[in-house]
Amino acid sequence: MYKTDYHIHAEYSIDSSIKARELIQLARELGYKTLAFTEHLDLLPWEA
């Protein structure tokens, strides 16, 4: 069985401030084989 996470937020969502590359590196260190980034469609201040 593979370690997976199909619901991750990175810096592109208001639910997280961690950079995607940092999350990928951490997942590798923890033995994850599969990730799915599920960002919300939040308007950023400069897009509003």
- Segment 1-48, tens digit of pLDDT: 899 999 999 988 888 899 999 999 999 999 999 999 998 876 666 655
Q: Specify if 34 maps to a domain.
A: yes
pLDDT value of residue 46: 64
**What is the residue type of 19?**
K
Q: Specify if 45 maps to a domain.
A: no
9: which residues sit within 8 A by CB, 6+ positions away? 15, 16, 37, 38, 39, 40
Q: Specify if 7 maps to a domain.
A: yes
* Beta strands per DSSP E along 1-48: 3-8, 32-37
Radius of gyration of the chain (CA): 12
Q: Specify if 46 maps to a domain.
A: no
Give the number of domains in the chain: 1
Provide the domain limits for residue 14: 3-40
